[in-house]
Amino acid sequence: MSLLELDSVSVFYGQTQALHEISLVVEPGEIVCLLGGNASGKSTTMKTILGLITPRSGEIRLAGERVTRSAPAARIRRGLASVPEARRVFPEMSVEDNLLTGAFTRRTGIRAELASVYESFPRLAERRRQPAGTLSGGEQQMLAFGRALMSAPTLICMDEPTMGLAPIFVDRVLDLIAALNRDRGLAVLMVEQNAELALSIAHRGYVLNTGHLVLDGPAPSLIDNPAIRTAYFGA
Amino acid sequence: MLDTALAGLVNGSSYALLALGLSLIFGVANVINFAHASVFAVGAMSGWWFSVDLDWPLWAVLLGVTAVTGLLGLVINVIAVTPLAKAPPIAALLSTFAVSVVVDNGAQLVFGPETRRFPALLATDNLGLGGLRFGTLDVTILVVAIGLMLVLGWFLRASRYGRAIRAVAQDRDAAAQMGIPLARVQNLAFVIASVLGGVAGVLGGMYLNNISPTVGSTVGMSAFAAATLGGLGSLPGAVAGGLLLGVVEAFGVSWWGGNARTLITFAVLLIVLWVRPSGLFGKRAPLAAEPMTGTFFGAARTVRLRPWQVAVAAVAAYVVPAVALDDYTVQIGVQVVVYAILALSLTLVSGQAGQISLGQAAPLAIGAYTSALLTTATGLDFWLSLPISGVVAAVLSVVLVSPSWRLRGHYVSIATLATGLLVAAAAVNFDWLTNGPSGVSAIPPPTLFGASVSAPLAVYFLDLTILLVVLLLVVRLRRSTLGRIWSAVREDEVAARSSGIAVADYKSLAFGIGGFVAGIGGALFAQQYGYIDPSVFGISVSLLALTIVVLGGLNSPLGAVVGAIVLVGLPEALRMLQETRMLTYGLLLLAVVLFRPQGLMGKVAR
């Protein structure tokens, strides 16, 4: 059973159609990237999956169960988690409180999860009492990952995880994503501006252009595909 | 010395509880809850009812008040704040303001408007410590207040929903992505804040000894001042600001007398806004772009009347009262006209330039006092006093409000509110100039061609003529280059600034011209009644003026006139709603904001 299925999902902002019958799947243990230029509908797709926007038509399923109109909390309980665009840690809360906030939808196993996140990211354990706003960009990205892990997800949605990071952190973050996928068996759905970087760790990719799904396939087949260039820069 | 400080701390703990609620709501909902003061009043009144009529013990009173005010907070959020989440912040400002009027006046209907004694329930003078005398009451107030603060602090730090509240306050979108239910968290914040406010009402009521359903307005403004002093959104700041303000007030009152309390409060508020708007503890400068108008009113297009329609209306305004109406009705017409002039000043300031003023009674009062004092004390002719009143009101408006241009959004409105209240407090306190609370009487009527203008119809003609001149002025201004610049400032301040517009100067100019118009209205007001005192220029006048323009259409000069007829004329003419008038204003304002934000005379642009 697929972890996530979108079945001809259409989204409107007022009169404007932002997504045109998007269908996509994420299988267990996969890294899937969602590519496209500005205003292609990547972020809208992510928000729709997370439940921040309700589609006008189509269906969304998580682990086979329909969640098209469910609140974000219900989706998180079904294994979805989010690493928001630009990390969006809570700057005045401590590192530990940020992590606990990630476990908002859980009632049990929170302490064990916390210990496991600290084990994966010792840096966060060192800084657990520090306000998140005082961390470096790379550390904040780790915190955003850790916060997402706190709900014990099977699929993490990442919106531009490398955005605004120093170049040395970009590779480290990508390694981290690959490691989370490999070691924990986590599936990842990732939006990236930088198609080449994203495809270097992804298994499959979808390409969006002005709200239409124009291309999909295994990562290697997309890397040199001229259609990607079109999607980003126009015909 | 020490007992003054203790009294200040005890009183200040009420402010602190209220300020905590204000800051909590500001953080979570990004709204300044103008109805919060009313929650205090409801707490005090229901506490009085539980303890006096039902004879409950203190702990039961506190529990009962917790239930009542918690529910009230929930209702405020559900009715007045949540539906406007996607509207610009001005909408929630107006709607919570409307709710406060509804609640205050609803409480007056339920409990009766009179001031009554609030029983202390506990001894007030039975303890001593090294020469300092105090009572179980003082200790209880401090213990309950500090206890509540500690419980709140613990709740926010260590509980699941407490963390959720903090997360929502810091980043709404990210919190939503963590599965935090925003609506529920916001409800919770309103309930907690309102319970704190209600308990503050009981404690404050016991401390003040005397309460009435409108007790919230003064205490509420002190709480605003305290929250701003501490830094809006900062909870430690709210506590520090509340206690500090309580102590400062206590010393001020012991030096200058009870009337000084409001003057101190509003002076502190205004000075904080001018000097350090982020407050003592505020980390972030409150400069986040927060357009106060934009689409909410920008979508409205003014209904245009053809010139012949305007001419017919103007002629009818002269002829009909002369031939068909009795003196009583004509006097109502005079009131309508004066309020229309005041409302037109707001059409410029709030409609055209987009700066919501909650204190337009200030220039009205300044104009009225200027004219009244000049014509009584120096015997100056009314016709000379008229322009002088306008100029003095214009200059003082600009002087008082322009330091606030560093601020944005809600802060500007708070500054205008403080200005309005400060002017009224000054009129009470500066008795060497204004004759204090007893006011100025025997203001002579104006003369024209040697005849005294005192018959209702004559006054009406005079005021109506001035109204038409002002109307013409406002219409012309709106079509001028200046009007377009104001529109630019209203619609997009950043874009206006990037186009080289000196935004602050143009805002000041709007307040200046608006102040001039309101000052003229004030002079007419003073001559019409022959008597003025500070109570005439209370916050209800500012509110009425704002309701008139919002109802008529904030950006429509004719709307100001129509609004004045509907809100001032009709209730008087129909002799209805004597007791429920303010309540009706509040409900009307709320309904307009929720259901017809463009006003009666505005159309929605397609």
- Residue the block writes with tokens 């990630």: A102
B118-127, B297-306, B319-328, B509-518 — most confident range:
B509-518
Mean pLDDT on A153-160:
93
Identify all chain B residues contacting A90, using CB atoms and an 8 Å cutoff: 166-167, 170-171, 174-175
Is B175 an 8 Å CB contact of chain A? Answer: yes
Query: Which whole-number Å values give the CA distances from A45 to A14, A21, A53, A66, A175, in the listed order?
Result: 16, 11, 9, 17, 25
Q: What is the ipTM of this complex?
A: 0.92
What is the percent of chain B where pLDDT is above 70? 92
Task: Look at residue B32 in the predicted model and tell me its pLDDT.
Answer: 85
CB under 8 A, 24+ apart: contacts of B121-124: B121/B51, B121/B58, B121/B61, B121/B206, B122/B58, B122/B206
For B4-50, what is each residue's pLDDT tens digit? 888 889 889 999 999 999 999 998 988 889 899 999 999 999 999 99
Q: Provide residues of A within 8 Å CB-CB of chain B.
A: 50, 52, 71-73, 75-77, 82, 84, 88-93, 97, 100-102, 104-105, 147, 151
Is the CB of residue B159 less than 8 Å away from at least one CB of chain A? no
Q: Which of B201-215, B273-287, B381-395 has the highest mean pLDDT?
A: B381-395
Question: Which domains does chain A show, CATH number per domain?
Answer: 4-79+154-233 (3.40.50.300), 90-152 (no CATH)
Contacts of B173 in chain A (CB under 8 A): 52, 84, 88
Per-domain residue ranges of chain B: 2-111+130-275, 328-575
Of the pLDDT bands very low, low, confident and very high (cuts 50, 70, 90), residue B292 is very low
B80 touches chain A (CB under 8 A): no
pLDDT digit string (tens) for B217-266? 778 888 888 998 888 888 889 999 999 999 999 998 888 877 788 888 88
Cβ distance B179 to A73 less than 8 Å, yes or no, reads yes
Tell whether the model's pLDDT for residue B538 goes beyond 70: yes
State what percent of residues in chain A have pLDDT above 90.
66
A4-14 mean pLDDT: 93
Q: For A110-154, what is each residue's pLDDT tens digit? A: 999 999 999 999 999 999 999 999 998 889 999 999 999 999 999
**Using one digit for the tens of pLDDT, what is the confidence trace for A12-67?**
998 899 999 999 999 999 999 998 887 888 989 999 999 999 999 999 999 999 99
**Nearest beta carbon to residue A101 from set B167, B181, B283:** B167
Q: Is-contact A17 A59, C-beta < 8 A?
A: no
Q: Give the best residue of A75, A97, A101 to mutate against chain B (max B CB count within 10 A).
A: A101
Radius of gyration of chain B from its Cα atoms, rounded to whole angstroms: 24
Q: Is the pLDDT of residue A97 over 80?
A: yes
pLDDT for the residue numbered B77:
96
Domain B2-111+130-275 sits in CATH at 1.10.3470
């702990």: which residue's tokens?
A: B59
| CB B369, CB B525: distance < 8 Å | no
Structural contact between residues A17 and A211, judged by C-beta atoms closer than 8 angstroms: yes
Contact A72 B179 (CB under 8 A): yes
Residue A90: Cβ-neighbour burial (10 angstroms; 0-12, 13-18, 19+): buried
Contacting residues of B for A97, CB less than 8 Å apart: 163, 166
Please check whether the two domains, B2-111+130-275 and B328-575, share a CATH topology.
Answer: yes
> pLDDT-derived band of residue B558, with 50, 70 and 90 as boundaries?
confident
Q: Residue B466: what residue type?
A: I
CA-nearest residue to B284 within chain A is A92
Asked if residue A196 has pLDDT above 50, the reply is yes
Q: Any residues with CB less than 8 A from the CB of B364 and at least 6 apart, and which? A: B342, B393, B518, B519, B521, B522, B525, B537, B541, B545
Could you tell me if B217 and B403 are in contact, meaning their C-beta atoms sit under 8 angstroms apart? no
Chain B positions in Cβ-Cβ contact with residue A50 (cut-off 8 Å): 177
Name the minimum distance, in Å, from the CA of B488 to any CA of chain A. Answer: 26
B174 and A84: CB-CB below 8 Å? Answer: yes
Cα→Cα distances B433→A122, B438, B440, B518, B537, Å: 70, 12, 10, 21, 16
Of the given ranges (A209-223, B127-141, B182-196), which has the lowest mean pLDDT? Answer: B127-141
Least confident of B281-295, B299-313, B328-342, B459-473: B281-295
B174 touches chain A (CB under 8 A): yes
- State the helix-helix crossing angle for B58-76 and B182-208, rounded to 10 degrees: 140
β-pair type (A155-159, A187-192)? parallel
The predicted structure's pLDDT at residue B300: 52
Higher pLDDT pick, B165 / B109: B165
Q: Which of chain A's residues have a Cβ under 8 Å away from the Cβ of B184?
A: none
Distance between CA atoms of B558 and B301, rounded to whole angstroms? Answer: 12
Tokens 């005010």, located at residue: B69
Looking from the CA of B510 toward its CB, the CA atoms found within 13 Å total: 32
Task: Give residue B346's pLDDT.
Answer: 92
Question: Which are the contacts of A135, defined by CB distance < 8 A and separation ≥ 6?
Answer: A89, A95, A127, A143
Q: Does B235 touch chain A (CB under 8 A)?
A: no
Residues on chain B touching A73 (C-beta within 8 angstroms): 179-181
Q: Report the residue of chain A nearest B165, measured CA to CA.
A: A101
- DSSP symbol at B119: P
Confidence of residue B444 (pLDDT cuts 50, 70, 90): confident
CB pairs under 8 A between A and B: 64
Q: Does residue B211 sit in helix, strand or coil?
A: strand
Which of B160, B161, B177 would you mutate first to test chain A, the one with the most A CBs within 10 A? B177
Mean pLDDT of B578-597: 79
Q: The tokens of B327 are what?
A: 């003196």
Interchain pair B178, A76: CB under 8 A:
yes
* B156: nearest Cα among B348, B28, B6: B28
Residue numbers in B near A100 (CB within 8 A): 160, 163
| Tokens encoding B472 | 């013409």
State whether residue B599 is helix, strand or coil. Answer: coil
pLDDT at residue number B322: 79
Q: Which residue of A has its CA nearest to B161?
A: A104
Least Cα separation, residue B600 to chain A (angstroms): 26
Question: Which of B240, B234, B244 minimizes the C-alpha distance to B278?
Answer: B234
Q: How would residue B417 be classed by pLDDT, with cut points 50, 70 and 90?
A: confident
Out of B174, B179, B283, whose CB is closest to A88? B174
pLDDT at B603 over 60: no
**Confidence category of residue B606, pLDDT binned at 50, 70, 90:** very low
**How far is the C-alpha of A158 from the C-alpha of B113, rounded, in Å?**
59
Does B285 have pLDDT greater than 50? Answer: no
Count CA atoms within 13 Å of residue B379 on its CB side: 0
Q: Tell me whether residues B180 and A104 touch, CB distance under 8 A.
A: yes
Nearest CA in chain A to B162: A101
Query: pTM of the entire structure?
Result: 0.86
- Cβ within 8 Å, pair B171-A88: yes
From B170, B179, B180, residue closest to A93, measured CB to CB: B170
What pLDDT, on the 0 to 100 scale, is given for residue B574? 60
How distant is the Cα of B163 from the closest Cα of chain A, in angstroms? Answer: 7
Please give the span between the terminal C-alpha atoms of chain B, in angstroms, as a whole number.
65
Q: Are B197 and B18 in contact (CB under 8 A)?
A: yes
Measured distance CA(A228)–CA(A232) in Å, rounded: 6
Q: What's chain B's average pLDDT? A: 85
Dist CA B399 CA B347 (whole Å):
20
Which residues in chain B have their CB less than 8 angstroms from residue A102's CB? Answer: 178
Contact A73 B177 (CB under 8 A): no
Question: What DSSP designation does B325 have?
Answer: -
Contacts 24+ apart (CB under 8 A), B493-498: B493/B289, B493/B291, B493/B408, B494/B289
> What is the average pLDDT across B453-465?
88
Q: Which of B432, B23, B54, B393 is nearest to B242 (CA)?
A: B23
Q: Could you count the other beta carbons within 10 Å of the beta carbon of residue B462?
A: 20
The predicted structure's pLDDT at residue B293: 39
pLDDT in tens, B73-118: 999 999 999 998 877 767 888 898 889 889 988 888 888 888 888 8
| Rounded average pLDDT over A198-208 | 91
Whether the per-residue pLDDT at A4 is higher than 90: the answer is yes
CB A53 within 8 A of CB A128: no
Asked if the Cβ–Cβ distance from A52 to B173 is below 8 Å, we say: yes
| Residue from B258, B238, B11 nearest B3 by CA | B11
Residue of A nearest to B283 (CA): A92
Pick among A15, A53, A104, A147 to test the B interface (most B CBs inside 10 A):
A104
CATH of domain B328-575: 1.10.3470
B137 Cα to chain A: minimum distance (Å): 37
- Tell me which chain B residue has its CA closest to the CA of residue A73: B179
pLDDT > 70? residue B289: no
SS3 sequence of chain A: CCCEEEEEEEEEECCEEEEEEEEEEECCCCEEEEECCCCCCHHHHHHHHHCCCCCCEEEEEECCEECCCCCHHHHHHCCEEEECCCCCCCCCCEHHHHHHHHCCCCCCCHHHHHHHHHHHCHHHHHCCCCEHHHCCHHHHHHHHHHHHHCCCCCEEEEECCCCCCCHHHHHHHHHHHHHHHHHHCCEEEEEECCHHHHHHHCCEEEEEECCEEEEEEEHHHHHCCHHHHHHHHCC
Nearest Cα of chain B lies from the Cα of A89 at a distance, in angstroms, of: 8
Distance from CA of B242 to the nearest CA of A (A): 23
* Chain A residues touching B163 at Cβ < 8 A: 93, 97, 100-101, 104
Contact check, Cβ <8 Å, A84/B166? no
What is the residue whose two structure tokens read 């904001």?
A: B593
